[in-house]
Amino acid sequence: MTATLRNVAIIAHVDHGKTTLIDVLLRASGAFRTGQQVAERAMDSNALEKERGITILAKVTSLNWKDARINIVDTPGHADFGGEVERILNMVDGAILLVDAAEGPMPQTKFVLSKALAIGLKPIVVINKVDKPDARPDFVLNAVFDLFAALDASDEQLDFPVLYGSAKQGWMAEDPGDPRETVGPLLDMVLRHVPAPRTEPGPFRMLATTLEADPFLGRILTGRIRSGSVKAGQTVKALTRDGELVESFRVSKVLAFRGLERQPIDLGEAGDIVALAGLSDSTVSHTLCDPSVTEPIPAHPIDPPTLSMTFRINDGPLAGTEGDKVQSRVIRDRLLREAEGNVALRITEGDDKDAFEVAGRGELQLGILIETMRREGFELTIGKPRVVFRYGPEGERLEPIEEVIVDVDDEHTGAVIEKLATRKGEMIEMRPSGGGRTRLVFYVPTRGLIGYQPELLSDTRGTAVLNRVFHAYEPYRGEIAGRRTGVLLSNGQGEAVAYALFNLQDRGPMMIEPGAKVYAGMIVGEHSRGNDLEVNVLKGKQLTNIRAAGKDENTILTPPMRLSLERALSYIEEDELVEVTPKSIRLRKAILDPHERKRAERAKASAA
């Protein structure tokens, strides 16, 4: 069976066309019926994936081509979800590296390729989007070769096959000037270039790679069978990475991937990627095996988290009015469930049992988790993101540094260089990238990038594109100046009044609209000066029976600052929180009572 089976992952930088290519491959192989309506980017099944146009969770699909079956894994392109990529690559025997014909290799291309080369995969390089007007396939091919060489690829890996094409137009070819009708040449190359799955002798063993919950089947673990076979009704045990027994269970179903569907099969054989149901405690990185097996399959260590946030219960006056999951016990269970399936997350419980420290790969990964939880009905308060420091052998403090590539119009390069320099960034490279644009490469502390994206778009009139990937831990680079303005705080609870907001506009831009619910200690605007100021947004106009001599002025309000979740998290300071509910995102002080807040500030000042 394994001679006609291939396991391959599609790896690429975010937005280089992985999921679109899989749509085309499935159509070309006849996985969809003629005339069948299929959603665009069918593999992005998660609502957030469709909204943001990125892949968050790795997924498996399967297609038949010339008497062979090819299991294809769609991987995330964003480095924040690198934990998914690292685990997935252990399931496959080959990889298709997709590179944009205009942009060329980007930071995440480097990240996913380094992981693939490290475990010995020999990628097929596909230069996608050659139909773009600014495509430069020859330049991109040279850049890809340089990247392979820089990542210490072996001679065999450097001798990679190349295809050119357009996933959107549905063709691949060995010559960019000779477009074909189909993507058949790519599938033919997978059969020729990707080896059959490696299997080992002995009883059933499988390393669990992804975890999901099904309302009918319960927990489902997916992985590649290393040796032996498995069938429904068979008794299997789960071992940790250290070889300790987790549980013994009876497999209720063995599921294989057929197109976009998962179908029950009688027998899963060595080399195939299958999903097992019937487990209760087993999770990712556990070895599922025959009861006679004692040694677990070694699992590759995952890169550690670089950013952490404090998740707390919502203890504000409006708690429980918009969400139905507010208790710390419910929040704790949800976070622990998330950490089971996402090995790149680390959850630790706070001293007061109402707060949890959640560490992950970056702002996007943690932002996606918060957005998912709020859509599920949770109410939370989130603290300011903080980087995870390490300490060297001599006790020196080390911080995470990221490689940042900014593609920007030539006229805005000065503003980008200046801003990243104030954030302790070090410029490594500056070169023209064609079309009146410049590519800037920096090494910047993760701390300095928190909240920089909106500022970059403002400085460059929305024309800059920023990409980033973890580089290394390096010595601490010193303090970075935070927000330079104070905030306007509500001094009472109620609904904001247009008349009050109109009269406060001179103090600074507002963050709320008339009719918004507010409470004492809630942030309602940005102060134009450096200090915080308590204001009354509930004050209405005094109505009398005496007619005014002059005409009443119209209350024309400036539109409020709209803060997205990511922008709000980067905006707050250490003594502030973001209150997240299914309907609202509010900013507030951690200590709502003004007298207690002043006492805490005095205590902090005297301690310093």
Q: What is the pLDDT of residues 383-432, one digit of tens each?
A: 998 888 888 888 889 998 988 888 888 899 999 999 999 989 999 999 88
- Class in CATH terms, 487-544+553-607: mainly beta
Cβ neighbours of residue 352 under 8 Å, at least 6 residues apart?
A: none
**Fold agreement (2-193, 487-544+553-607):** no
Is the pLDDT confidence value at 37 over 50?
no
Per-residue pLDDT, averaged over 102-113, amounts to 80
Predicted pLDDT of residue 49? 45
Q: What are phi and psi of 515, to 5 degrees?
A: 90, -10
Q: Two tokens at 498? A: 């247009």
Report the CATH fold assignment for 205-289: Elongation Factor Tu (Ef-tu); domain 3 (2.40.30)
Share of the chain above pLDDT 90, in %: 19
Per-residue pLDDT, averaged over 163-181, amounts to 81
- Do residues 205 and 290 make contact, with C-beta atoms less than 8 angstroms apart? yes
CA angle 319, 518, 492 (to 5 degrees): 110
Q: Which DSSP symbol is given to 180?
A: -
130 is in an annotated binding site: yes
pLDDT class for 34, splitting at 50, 70, 90?
Answer: very low
Cβ neighbours of residue 534 under 8 Å, at least 6 residues apart?
A: 488, 489, 490, 491, 594
**Domain chopping of the chain, boundaries:** 2-193, 205-289, 313-379, 390-475, 487-544+553-607
The span from the CA of 392 to the CA of 260, in Å, is 47
436 is in an annotated binding site: no
Report the CATH fold assignment for 313-379: Alpha-Beta Plaits (3.30.70)
Question: In the block, which residue shows the tokens 């556990």?
Answer: 286
444 is in an annotated binding site: no
Question: In the block, which residue shows the tokens 């920023």?
Answer: 466
The span from the CA of 80 to the CA of 83, in Å, is 8
Per-residue pLDDT, averaged over 471-483, amounts to 84
Q: What are phi and psi of 89, to 5 degrees?
A: -65, -20
- Do residues 88 and 73 make contact, with C-beta atoms less than 8 angstroms apart? yes
* Cβ neighbour number for residue 608 with a 10 Å cutoff: 5
Predicted pLDDT of residue 418? 92
- Do residues 250 and 278 make contact, with C-beta atoms less than 8 angstroms apart? yes
pLDDT class for 83, splitting at 50, 70, 90?
Answer: low
- Do residues 294 and 278 make contact, with C-beta atoms less than 8 angstroms apart? no
* Cβ neighbour number for residue 159 with a 10 Å cutoff: 10
Most confident of 57-66, 89-98, 562-571, 587-596: 587-596
Q: Two tokens at 314? A: 């919502």
Q: Two tokens at 63? A: 């297609």
- H-assigned helices in 342-475: 363-375, 413-422, 446-449, 452-459
Predicted pLDDT of residue 33? 46
Q: Two tokens at 134? A: 């600014």
Most confident of 12-26, 101-115, 262-276: 262-276
- Class in CATH terms, 2-193: alpha beta
Predicted pLDDT of residue 47? 53
What is the average pLDDT score of the chain?
A: 83
Predicted pLDDT of residue 241? 83
Is the pLDDT confidence value at 451 over 70?
yes
129 is in an annotated binding site: yes
Strand (E) positions, 215-328?
A: 218-227, 229-231, 235-239, 245-250, 253-258, 261-264, 267-269, 273-279, 287-289, 307-312
H or E, element range at 25: helix 18-28
pLDDT class for 587, splitting at 50, 70, 90?
Answer: very high
Predicted pLDDT of residue 301? 61
Q: Two tokens at 80? A: 């924040």
Q: What are phi and psi of 566, to 5 degrees?
A: -65, -40
Is the pLDDT confidence value at 469 over 80?
no
Is the pLDDT confidence value at 325 over 50?
yes
18 is in an annotated binding site: yes
Least Cα distance to 467 among 449, 479, 482 occurs for 449
pLDDT in tens, 503-558: 888 898 999 999 999 999 999 999 988 888 999 999 877 666 655 554 445 667 78
pLDDT in tens, 173-194: 888 777 667 888 888 999 999 9
Is the pLDDT confidence value at 43 over 60?
no
Q: What is the pTM assigned to this prediction?
A: 0.73
* Residue 179 or 245, more confident: 245
Predicted pLDDT of residue 499? 87
Is the pLDDT confidence value at 481 over 70?
yes
Report the CATH fold assignment for 390-475: Alpha-Beta Plaits (3.30.70)
pLDDT class for 46, splitting at 50, 70, 90?
Answer: very low
Least Cα distance to 401 among 355, 445, 362 occurs for 445
* Residue 486 or 549, more confident: 486
